Amino acid sequence: MTVTSAEKMTSVNKQAVSRSALAKDVALMRDISVRSLDRMYLPDEQMFVHCIRRGADGDKPEGVSRRYTAITLLGLAGESEEIAAAAMKGHDCETVCQRLLADVSEVSNMGDVALTLWVARLLNHKYADRALDCLRKHDPVHGDHPTVEVAWALTALSVKSDLQGDDGMRDAIASRLSASQMSSGVFPHWPVDAPQSTLRGHVACFADLVYPTQAFSHHYIATGDEQSAEAARRCGAFMCETQGSDGQWWWHFDSRTGKIVESFPVYSVHQDSMAPMALFDLQDACGVDSGDAIARGLAWLRTSPEIGGESLIDTGADLIWRKIARHEPGKASRGVQAIASRVHPSFRVPGIDTVFKPGRIDFETRPYHMGWIFHAWTPQRLQRWGCG
C-alpha cells in the first residue's frame, strides 16, 4: 500500500485541529483532482469514465458515466477556464454540457436529468429547457424516485440562474420532501408517499442527509420559505450530532429513530466534499456555522485511525481512494444490521466490529468525487479557511 502517512492524532475531538493546515490539504486535493480528472476524461465521448480501479495491471479507467459527468461539471462550472480545460483535455464546460443536453430526452433516470438541468442552469446554457422539459415528464412531484434524486431536482430548480425555471414544480417538490422528513430529522431513502422496501425501507444513508440539506438551503435562499430553512437546519444538526468521535460521517441510519444502523464504509467523498458542501450551503442560507464538524471530517481523512493513522489521499498514485470498509464478505454487516433493526428499532447484531473489523481500503476513485471537491471548496471558501 502506497498511501501517505501524516501526523497521528488519537482523537480529533480532544485535540485542536488547524484549519489552515486542513485547508492546505484541500488545496492539495484540488490539485490532485485536476490531474485525476484528466485521466478519467474521454474526449471523443465528451464524458467521464465511471471510475479508476486498481488491479493487477495498475490503476485503470473503467466504463463511462453520464451522471458522474454532470456532477463533475457542477464542480468545474465554478472554476476558471484554465482549470476546466486542464481537467477535460482542452474542452470547456459549455461544450460538455451541450453533449449532455443533446440526448437528455432519451435519459430514463430522473436523477441524471435533474443533475443535467442543475449544471445547465448554473451555466445559463441556451438549451437548458430541454432538461427542464424532460424533468417535467419524469414527475419529481409524484413519481417513484429516491430521496436523493428528488432533492437534486429541487436544487436544480432553486439555484440562482438567469434562466426561467418552474417555480410551481419547485415548490411542490419542496412540499413533498418536507412531508417526508422524520421526527428524527432524517429523510428516508424514498419519500414517504413512494413504495418502500419491506426489509430496508427504514434505512437511510448519509446521502439522504446531505442532498436534502443542500436542496432546502437553496430553496430557502430562492424563496424565503421558513419551512425549508427549518428542514435544512434540522437535518444539518442531525448530521453533526451523529458524527463519529474521530470525525467519521457514518453511513446507514434508522430514519424512524435516527440511530446508526451500520457505520461502515466511511467514504472519502463524504469527508472532504459532500458533508462540507451541504453544511456550507446551510451556513450561506441560515447562518449555521458547522466549521468544527467540517474540520473533524477533514482531519479523519488526513489521519484515519482505522488504517493506523494513514490517509486515503494517495500522493504516490496521485488519487484519492474511495472508502474504508470492513473486512467482510460482500455487504454482510449492513445486511444483517438492517434486518435486525427492522425486527425492532433497538436491535443490533453484537460483535460486528470484532468479527468484521474496519480497515479495508477500496482502491477505486470516481470522477464525481473530484466534482464535489470543486463544488464544495471554491477558492472563496478556501480563503475563508486560511489558504487561498
Tens digits of per-residue pLDDT, 37-58?
999 999 999 999 999 999 999 9
Which of 23, 27, 37 minimizes the C-alpha distance to 366? 37
Domain ranges of the chain: 12-384
Amino acid in the structure at residue 326:
R
Helix 128-138, helix 110-122: angle, nearest 10? 150
The confidence score (pLDDT) of residue 17 equals: 64
Res 59 pLDDT > 60: yes
Entry pTM: 0.94
Question: Phi and psi of 109, rounded to 5°?
Answer: -100, 125
Tens digits of per-residue pLDDT, 322-340?
999 999 998 889 888 988 8
Other beta carbons within 10 angstroms of residue 227's beta carbon come to: 15
Amino acid in the structure at residue 228:
S
Phi-psi region of 147 (alpha: psi -120 to 50; beta: other; left: phi over 0): alpha
Strand partners, 284: none
CA dihedral 216, 221, 227, 230 (to 10 degrees): 70
Which of 278, 387, 262, 284 minimizes the C-alpha distance to 332? 262
Distance CA 31, CA 320 (A): 11
- Domain at 12-384, CATH class: mainly alpha
Tens digits of per-residue pLDDT, 285-297?
999 999 999 999 9
Res 34 pLDDT > 50: yes
